[in-house]
Structure 1
């Protein structure tokens, strides 16, 4: 391999349109990360490949030190395998993965990732990318440069950079994802519109709108071909900021590019206008949908129902509810979510909440588990647990099977009202129906029992939670630590602290506050 870095061009053809392809600018240091390493003894890498071809495991003979030499050997073997036999490279990567004590540099991991991508093993590639991004002290620029510098030698594919961004997003490392995206842009590497949308959607979802606009401006500057998903993400961002006057301008610009708003766009706009109290504008949008050739769906009507009920316009909501169920001909769908019933419950008009529910049967409309769950949720919210339990029984009588959401709603309501024995019976029923409890199920019960002074039972539930491979979070640990501190069992509270740290769950201000209060009340010094 040449010692000096040259202009790097990625392999072609690309799996994306030209405007979405990965390209590289003239960056002298792009390939230097790998090329500047110490020369690799050709005989060693050739021997490893020879062993692989003969079915012999060469991994035990890899040098353990210095680290950079081992990294260079790995990369060189992967490079040569990529040219001779991708399957051989894949076998080498699989063998390396089984050797946990082998220290891997960013370059060797990158080479392994490229081999997996080359063989379309995207899930395995993402696992290695996740390992890279979780390593302590790994800079985004280091990871990006390692992937770029090993790209050509491994005959990789542009999707590898998409996977990098997607892995960051899926790991909820949105700030790091944004940094990696901008570093890629700086290096002249442009990911696909789908990866851009994934990042944009993640940022908008958590209301990191300033960062979302920074990414969108970069995407627009690059000239990546946008699509209707991009349109919907940006419309959602504008609505969250209340910039309704800019939505029309943005949508007109997208239409000129041949990207037209769809049902999701209108649902987002209608919901946003209803939430901001602009019902008149929402109804105008609802009326214009037919002109645009779009048919309102469940979400459309539910947004309007929600807006009407929040304004106390229950009669109008009921009228619209009947219209959507009868005039739209949705009899066979089990009818839309009965949000009017839900909001009647919030307003405390319990008889009114049941009335439209009963009227459904008169129109041959069969309630489904969504409607039952929303009514149950309404009763639980205002503490009417007997009514919620009766509704659950009726649900079962009509052949509607409660799902995890239904059970979690009931568990939360029962625990809040201190009806722990009923909650325990419901939890057992849930297990008997083979509905696996999730994080919310366990944490709700743990909180309920701790609040009721039954910390040992709460800890038993916590043990069951771990045995079911449901990972607790800081809220779970804070609840248990607080419970044991109240009982004066500081030893158990400290054990939970140690367990939490071992699971790499970082304490927050609430954790410290619980422990400090407990230690101070006993005249002791906090050891943490």
Structure 2
């Protein structure tokens, strides 16, 4: 019995992210021990001298050693000073500046281990980024993961090194590599942090990969991984992107039972989904519900409802929402004014459009290209191409770059003007 307990403790130490290593969900492989070739003779003397110079920050003397520096020595110097991440990083950058060819994949992985072990995740992710951006080898992903595994024990590392790799792929929107890293991590009993998982899900949503978000969330729950309110909000967002409003609402309703307080982002996601599906009345009811539950609507809530009313041609209701914002001291932003200007332009209300624009500028809210596109669209729809041309000239003064919508409006204006 004592032997069994010791075995379980050892397994937990080897795989600290796994809560129950005996669960049938997990079949993990221990990180292998690699034989490290120890420096001898001239290599050992060189490393000891370089180490002494580094401890004294004597960079001029270190410069004199540069001609005889090689990748083997770089690796062992890093390993010798790994308990001081600051010196390690300075030495790594010094080598990178003096002779980047001395930095092999293995030495890059050693510094990444040192940085993650000391919780310098941004610096570690920066090294990962450089590795991937400097190499077009399609097999580099597999090589990097294997090298991380190879150096893991010699650096006395932590599972956060794999988390940093997973997050880097999420940042780069390399979803296939991120998914493969997640799968291989599981093989060794490691799982990414909830923060990195949230970043991955957010990146997927930004490219409309809602199906992948739902699948990933289900895998997180299967593995009994920790989730937080942001994770669930993104799942709701994913269901909304897929048009599965019933699933989104069910998840929304389950949040309090999961121990999560519904926040304004949770409500805004559902409000936007209802409005986009033409269920404006339901969106309005949800806003009333959120305020009854003590969650204050923000500028995004108001902008969403205003846009919905304009789409349905309900100018009075849209303006009521706009007025309510100001009554509650909610400062309208550029998106708010753009929504109002665009809405009035589409409905041919030029006088109202001008009033809103003047108010926008008076309140010091900066107009952007979307503001000008809305104004141009309104003028061009009426065939007022001369006024539109004057407005285009203002873009240069404001240092705004025209986009496809700008040119589409101008072309449409020419077509309207030439109609009999």
* TM, length-normalised to structure 1: 0.62
CA distance in 2, matches of 1:389, 1:269: 43
Show the counterpart of 2:374.
378
Asked if structure 1 preserves the Cα contact closer than 8 Å seen for 2:78 and 2:88, the reply is yes
**CA distance 1:291–1:207, change in 2 (3 Å):** same
Q: Which has the higher contact order (CA 8 A, sep 6+)?
A: 2
Cα deviation for residue 181 of structure 1 reads: 2.3
Asked if structure 1 preserves the Cα contact closer than 8 Å seen for 2:85 and 2:115, the reply is no
**CA distance 1:59–1:209, change in 2 (3 Å):** farther
**CA distance 1:231–1:334, change in 2 (3 Å):** closer
Cα deviation for residue 275 of structure 1 reads: 0.9
Show the counterpart of 1:346.
346
Mark the runs of 5 or more structure 2 residues left unpaired by the alignment: 1-9, 21-25, 408-420
Cα deviation for residue 232 of structure 1 reads: 1.4
Cα deviation for residue 352 of structure 1 reads: 3.5
The structure whose residues are more often helix, as a share, is 2
**CA distance 1:334–1:252, change in 2 (3 Å):** closer
**CA distance 1:289–1:9, change in 2 (3 Å):** closer
Cα deviation for residue 270 of structure 1 reads: 0.6
Quick check: 50-59 or 303-312, which moved more?
A: 50-59
Cα deviation for residue 121 of structure 1 reads: 4.6
Cα deviation for residue 41 of structure 1 reads: 3.2
CA distance in 2, matches of 1:218, 1:197: 13
CA distance in 1, matches of 2:74, 2:283: 60
Show the counterpart of 1:94.
93
Asked if structure 1 preserves the Cα contact closer than 8 Å seen for 2:211 and 2:238, the reply is no
* TM, length-normalised to structure 2: 0.76
Show the counterpart of 2:67.
60
Asked if structure 1 preserves the Cα contact closer than 8 Å seen for 2:96 and 2:103, the reply is no
CA distance in 1, matches of 2:214, 2:286: 26
CA distance in 2, matches of 1:125, 1:335: 37
**CA distance 1:145–1:322, change in 2 (3 Å):** same
CA distance in 2, matches of 1:380, 1:159: 51
**CA distance 1:239–1:318, change in 2 (3 Å):** same
- Give runs of aligned pairs for residues 250-261 of structure 1, distance below 5 A: 250-261=251-262
Cα deviation for residue 200 of structure 1 reads: 0.5
CA distance in 2, matches of 1:209, 1:444: 28
Mark the runs of 5 or more structure 1 residues left unpaired by the alignment: 1-6, 64-69, 391-412, 431-436, 449-528
Quick check: 254-263 or 88-97, which moved more?
A: 88-97
- Give runs of aligned pairs for residues 7-406 of structure 1, distance below 5 A: 26-27=28-29, 30-31=31-32, 35=34, 39-43=37-41, 44-45=43-44, 47-54=46-53, 55=58, 56-57=61-62, 58-63=65-70, 70=71, 73-82=73-82, 85-102=84-101, 104-118=103-117, 121-134=120-133, 135=135, 136-326=137-327, 328-330=328-330, 333=331, 337-338=336-337, 339-355=339-355, 367-370=363-366, 375-383=371-379
Aligned residues: 380
CA distance in 2, matches of 1:320, 1:88: 58
CA distance in 1, matches of 2:108, 2:229: 35
Cα deviation for residue 262 of structure 1 reads: 0.7
Aligned-residue CA RMSD (Å)? 4.0
CA distance in 2, matches of 1:78, 1:372: 50
Asked if structure 2 preserves the Cα contact closer than 8 Å seen for 1:110 and 1:150, the reply is yes
- Partner of 2:152, secondary structure, is coil
Show the counterpart of 1:454.
none
**CA distance 1:101–1:10, change in 2 (3 Å):** farther
Show the counterpart of 2:410.
none
Cα deviation for residue 320 of structure 1 reads: 2.8
